[in-house]
Amino acid sequence: QVQLVESGGGLVQAGGSLRLSCAASGRTASSYAMGWFRQAPGKEREFVAAISRSGATTYYADSVKGRFTISGDNAKNTVYLQMNSLKPEDTAVYYCAADRTTFTFRDSASRIDYWGQGTQVTVSS
């Protein structure tokens, strides 16, 4: 009942910036918290950032805090991830996600209700 469509991935040099977008649709899309995970080859999917459905509360992984910013546009049912000061270790497939609570984002990726298709982010040295 919630569909997520991502865009904005690409190739950038270390120190550069990218902005990812995720548009949510469906009858109950506005009822969900949204956020981002990433997965590098051979590694587990890891939490990146999340935002409450009101936009009042945000959460970040320690590895991206101070460099990434999550925001939302409720009128468009869209969430963004602004990524600055990118490092090669940020290279991964980034997945948009939706869930009934931001706690799930911080607790376990396996319990997330809805996923986008993923978008590749590659940061060159």
Q: What per-residue confidence (pLDDT) applies to 46?
A: 96
Q: What percent of the chain is predicted at pLDDT more than 70?
A: 100
| Cross-strand pairs, 19 | 82
DSSP letter string, 96-123? EEEES-HHHHHH-GGG-SEE---EEEEE
pLDDT at 41 (0 to 100) = 92
When comparing pLDDT for 26 and 70, which is higher?
70
Q: pLDDT tens for residues 46-91?
A: 999 999 988 999 999 999 999 999 999 988 889 999 999 999 999 9
pLDDT at 31 over 90: no
Tokens in use for 59? 């959460």
